[in-house]
Amino acid sequence: MKRVFSGVQPTGNIHLGNYLGALKQFVELQEDHECIYCIVDEHAITVPQNPKELKEHILDVAALYLAIGVDPKKAIVFVQSQVAGHAELGWILNCCANTGELFRMTQFKAKSNGKESVGAGLLTYPVLMAADILLYDTDIVPVGNDQKQHIELTRDLAIRVNNRYKDTFVVPDGRFMKAGARIMALDDPTSKMSKSAENIHSRISLLDEPSKIKKSIMKATTDSDGIIKYDLENKPGVSNLLSIYSVLSGKTIEDLEKEYEGKGYGDFKKDLVVVVTEALAPIKERFEEIRHSKELIEILEDGARRADEIAKKTMKRVRDNFGLGI
Ligand code: TYM
């Protein structure tokens, strides 16, 4: 069975982009893969966090994994900082990475843009992500498009180590959704939907109230030609809404274009509000049930134990191959 690994940062409310780009894949893959899903709290501290809020967000993401349908009987669910191998392998891989390739990462450039000085962790962030993946001999990494460059770096590091030392790592592949791999901000369809954007109507969080969902969708930026058609270049707003509609309803984009021929954006948006609200309602309900349960903590503790068993074996091989220790 092929092994799958992925992670989400506990840095705020998980939104439709996270769900449609990555989390939906988590559920699909658990049926016939050995899946490991992590809450990457060590990545979150690359920028300063409020410790109390971070702890809450860790449990929020864990509960959301379960609420969207990740099944702890089929998949390992755990928190990154509970398995020491991540930080250890992160350091070792830092010694194999070149600063040049890290400075070239587009996410680093975006996050450091215009700042005189940023934390070193922001630069080496993708190396820790590579460590997450390589620690579990991962074959497949389900993520959104924005992580493509990080997956490439992970592959480069794995190949570099395998060539320099003995064969040490499995070289993983990214897995991206056809539709949903890059959900754009509702208020500005030229930038991706993100947890940190200031305007809350730029995103729909999985736990948003129906009234907030309605407001965000009805306010979403479209264009002035009034035609419901998928055209990324000329109609990025409408195309983004069509992608969301299509993935959540299971209807193809072509079918939706036919269904809304001759209709206006108002009708289309009203129907999308219903589709999104109905898709998110059961997630919210399940989240409320599990978020403060004892079961959630037990699942995470059990997950960390199981993840650590795999990680320890990899770390022994890594130390041996690198000549570390006695
Ligand atoms: P994070 O926490 O920013 O996002 C979690 C997942 O959601 C995807 N995503 C999107 N997909 C489509 N449209 C969007 N607008 C959108 N925004 C986010 C991301 O691609 C991601 O799959 N570096 C990672 C976390 C990470 C990780 C890992 C992932 C750390 N270690 C190992 C996989 C394997 C990140 O910041 O994701």
Condensed to tens digits (0 to 9), the pLDDT of residues 241-295 reads 999 999 999 999 999 999 999 999 999 999 999 999 999 999 999 999 999 999 9
- The CA distance from 203 to 325, in Å, is 48
pLDDT of residue 55: 98
Of 92-101, 138-147, 175-184, minimum mean pLDDT range: 175-184
Task: Kindly give the number of the ligand 1 atom that is closest to the alpha carbon of 11.
Answer: 2
DSSP 48: -
Q: Per-residue confidence at 18, pLDDT binned at 50, 70, 90? A: very high
Structure tokens at 33: 């893969």
pLDDT of residue 48: 93
Backbone angles phi, psi at 114, to 5 degrees: 80, -5
pLDDT above 90: residue 179: no
Above pLDDT 90, what percent of the chain?
Answer: 97
Mode of pairing for the β-strands spanning 173-175 and 75-79: unpaired
Q: Is 189 in the pocket of ligand 1 (CB under 6 A)?
A: no
pLDDT of residue 29: 98
For CATH 1.10.240.10, list the domain ranges present in the chain.
200-287
- The CA distance from 248 to 94, in Å, is 40
Instruction: List the residue whose alpha carbon is closest to atom 37 of ligand 1.
Output: 8
Task: Please give the helix or strand (H or E) that residue 4 lies within, else none.
Answer: strand 3-8
Is 52 annotated as catalytic?
A: no
Burial class (CB in 10 A: 0-12, 13-18, 19+), 39: buried
Instruction: List the residue whose alpha carbon is closest to atom 33 of ligand 1.
Output: 6
pLDDT of residue 12: 83
Is 195 annotated as catalytic?
A: yes
SS3 164: helix
Backbone angles phi, psi at 35, to 5 degrees: -105, 140
Q: Per-residue confidence at 13, pLDDT binned at 50, 70, 90? A: confident
Q: Which residue has the tokens 């969301």?
A: 244
Residue in 6, 8, 78 to alter for ligand 1 test, most ligand atoms within 8 A of Cβ: 8
Give the domain 200-287 fold.
Tyrosyl-Transfer RNA Synthetase (1.10.240)
For CATH 3.40.50.620, list the domain ranges present in the chain.
3-182+294-322
Q: What is the 3-state secondary structure (H, E, C) of 174-205?
A: EECCCCCCCCECCCCCCCECCCCCCCHHHCCE
Burial class (CB in 10 A: 0-12, 13-18, 19+), 78: buried
Task: Supply the DSSP string of 208-235, one letter for each residue.
Answer: --HHHHHHHHHH----SS-----BTTTB
Which of 111, 215, 251, 269 does the annotation list as catalytic? 111
Mode of pairing for the β-strands spanning 173-175 and 3-8: unpaired
pLDDT above 90: residue 21: yes
SS3 140: strand
Q: Judge whether 145 and 176 are in contact, CB under 8 Å.
A: yes
DSSP 145: G
Give the domain 3-182+294-322 fold.
Rossmann fold (3.40.50)
DSSP 33: S
